[in-house]
Copies of this chain bind each other. A is one copy, B any other.
Amino acid sequence: MNKLLSESLATATAGVSLLHDALLNQGVSTQAVEWSPPLGGKDLHDVMADQRRSVANELALSKMLNSGAVLVDVKPASEALNLGRGEFLHAGPPIEWSRASGPMRGALIAAMLYEKMADSAEAAELILEKNGVALEPCHHRGAVGPMAGVVTPSMWMFELQDPSTGNKSWCSLNEGLGKVLRYGAYSPEVIERLDWMRDVLGPLLQVGVRAREEHIDVRAIISQMIQMGDEGHNRNRAGTLMFLRDLLPFMIEGGTSSDVARAARFVGGNDHFFLNLVMPACKLQTRAAENIPGSTIVTVMARNGTDFGIQTSGTGNEWFIGPAQTPHGLYLGNYTADDANPDIGDSAITETA
């Protein structure tokens, strides 16, 4: 039994005083340890000595704060991202089948079954082992994918745009919790749900989004939801409800009653639905700060279940990659850290922005 919640915690902080001060302000007794990063390496020294850095980072920050995110369309990835048959996107930095973790492999198998590129998990694995599918990170197309983040041509995508730059970003529709592709599940119920999302939910959302005169302002909803108990990554209830409020009347007018009722229950019953709008909104915010020479602002943090990769503004699309970590946490039932997979997903974009 994990004792994290049953015993009192002792806290200590190292380095910058921000966390130490925050704990003190909350009346938590804590120990501060003085620490600053070693400046031994040449690379770090070069960055610290770069005269452009301060101004470049101010510019990056200003561009991020000026950015916005409105929902302009909902359409299949084949249209939104020119994703062709046999091309899949995935979360995190680049990876091939041989190095992919269990959840990523499961999601890729689900994607093969969903796209009818294989009629069994075994057949799908055979193709994937031979690299018979072109894999590419979501981030390479300006998109983001939660957990395994696998996107296939038939999946419907939210398309968001930043009015300050014209940049676009995309994310698939959230499947809910439990057995879902993004967690690596590929049982029939997973594929059936994805089929319904492709045939009914996606087109209905498109009808609603296209019928509105004004685009839904995702950034404005985010600014309200964080005042309503949501933090926009693991809790998105208020955001999901405000999204439903703004879109559902148009879906009601444009769809058949039974379809719209099922869609309303599906979205309303999935507090995570709005996460897939928060993520591309955050991606647009960091995209606004991309490619500023000398800026050290981190624009991407993403995990593929094996590797953790970051990109920074000044270094453009170059990945800096290390091993994905396995968080220490509480586990359901009798599961332990031994059952855990290293961290996975592009959703860390919500902490990057």
Contact surface of A with B, Cβ cutoff 8 Å: 227-229, 237-238, 241-242, 244-246, 248-250, 252-253, 257-258, 260-262, 264-265, 268
Contacts and interface: CB of A to CB of B under 8 A. Distances in A.
A interface, over-half SS: helix
A131 B229 CA distance: 51
A227 B238 CA distance: 11
Contacts of A252: 252, 257, 260-261, 264
B253 A261 contact: yes
A227 B257 CA distance: 33
A261 B257 CA distance: 11
A264 B238 contact: no
27 contacts: A227-B229, A228-B228, A228-B229, A228-B238, A229-B229, A238-B241, A241-B242, A241-B244, A244-B244, A244-B245, A245-B264, A245-B268, A246-B268, A248-B248, A248-B268, A249-B261, A249-B264, A249-B265, A250-B261, A252-B252, A252-B257, A252-B260, A252-B261, A252-B264, A253-B257, A253-B258, A257-B257
Contacts of A241: 238, 241-242, 244-245
Contacts of A264: 245, 248-249, 252
A108 to B, nearest CB: 34
A258 B254 CA distance: 10
A62 to B, nearest CB: 29
